[in-house]
Structures are given as structure tokens and as C-alpha cells.
Amino acid sequence: MAHQFSTSYIEDSLAIFRQYKKWAEGAMAQLADDQLFVALDPESNSVAIIVKHMAGNMRSRWTDLLTSDGEKPGRNRDSEFEDAPATREALMAIWEEGWSCVFSALSPLSDADISRTVTIRGEPHSVMQAINRQVAHYALHVGQIIFIAKHLKSSGWKTLTVPRKGSADFNSRVQSGEASQR
């Protein structure tokens, strides 16, 4: 993603969320279907479980963002860490549903909305704080997805950003205006 100059907090937040989504999808696309369900050890989550948790969080946090608590009464967070969807297709369907909640909630907002108050688990947050909370949360989990995928692919991994030992080339492309990665 080419960096786009912005003074809009909402526009920049949307761009960051789109980048995280793209990176996670790039990592998941490199995995064989069965690898989506591999946990690296008994205390770890598979990519599928992480996606299920993220989708549950997204539905809860972003549905009716301005009018209801971000922790919806029907959400069972603990169940998000059990029984992953059975197929890549089912997994990607809940992934897209979750991101749809994010983008549907944020897209109509303006920067005038960032000081409005929303609640998450009964605690007041400004819209900006709520967005920052989720940016940090999703960054953590996207990093986990990438780590697991990179571990499982090993030498077959295709980098999602600047390749190892590629900084000098990337920097020269930035200086010449050719770089398109953020």
C-alpha cells in the first residue's frame, strides 16, 4: 500500500485496518488448508482460532458502535478459542464478516466523531480511544498470524513487506519515487 498523506484520523485508521487485513490475508494465502488449523504448541492458538477470535471481537466492538456497548451481551469470548471453523471457506467467511463490521462502522464517521463517547465493557472511551484499542488488538493478532504462517512455510515464505536484506533496494526505490509499500 502506498502511503497516503492524511490529516484525517478516520481515513488513516481505515487505511491502517486495510493494511493489517491485507497482511493477514497474504500470510493465510501462503498456507495449505490444513496449516490454518495447526497450533505450534498446546498453549498456542492456530491461525483459524485467531481469526475466529478476531471476527468475534470485530462483530462485538463495531456493531452499533455509537449506540451500544462494545462488549455485546450475546458474545461468548471464551468460545472463540474453541472449535475453529472446519474449512478455509468458512474461516474466510467469518473473517470477511468481521472486517465488514469494522469498515461499516468507521466509513460513515468523520473526524468530528472522534471525541464522541462509546462504551466497551461498561467503560467510557472516546471513539478515538476505541479505535486505538482495536488497532493495537488487531496488530497483535495479525502479527501472530504472520508469525505462525512464516514458521510453517519456513524457507517457502514470501515476504509481505520489505524483504530481508532488501532495505537498501527499498530505500533507493523510495528516494526515486518507485516504492509502493508502506
- CATH assignment at residue 151: 1.20.120.450
Average pLDDT over residues 100-104: 98
Instruction: Give the pLDDT mean for 90-95.
Output: 98
Q: Which domain holds residue 136?
A: 9-176
Is there a domain that residue 182 lies in?
no
Which position has the grid cell 505450534? 40
Residue 1 belongs to some domain of the structure: no
Residue 171 lies in a domain: yes
Look-up: residue for cell 488449523?
37
1 has pLDDT over 70: no
Could you say which DSSP state residue 63 is in? Answer: T
Given pLDDT bands bounded at 50, 70 and 90, which one contains residue 174?
low
User: pLDDT tens digit string along 26-81?
Assistant: 999 999 999 999 999 999 999 999 999 999 999 999 999 999 999 999 999 999 99
Q: What is the tens place of the pLDDT at every residue in 111-167?
A: 999 999 999 999 999 999 999 999 999 999 999 999 999 999 999 999 998 788 777
Q: What residue spans of 30-166 are helical by DSSP H?
A: 47-62, 88-106, 127-153
pLDDT band for position 182 (cuts 50, 70, 90): very low
Average pLDDT (19-30) is 98
The answer to whether residue 25 is domain-embedded is yes
Residue 169 has pLDDT above 90, yes or no: no
The pTM of the full predicted model, rounded to 2 decimals, is: 0.89
Please name the residues in contact with 2: beta carbons below 8 A apart, sequence gap of 6 or more. 179, 180, 181, 182
Is the residue at 132 inside a domain?
yes
3-state secondary structure of 18: helix
The reply to whether 3 falls in a domain is no
Q: How many domains does the chain have?
A: 1
Q: What is the Cα–Cα distance from 175 to 74, expressed in whole angstroms?
A: 51
**Strand 117-120 versus strand 123-126 pairing type:** antiparallel
Look at residue 73 and tell me if it is in a domain.
yes
User: Do residues 5 and 119 touch, judged by C-beta distance below 8 A?
Assistant: no
Look at residue 2 and tell me if it is in a domain.
no
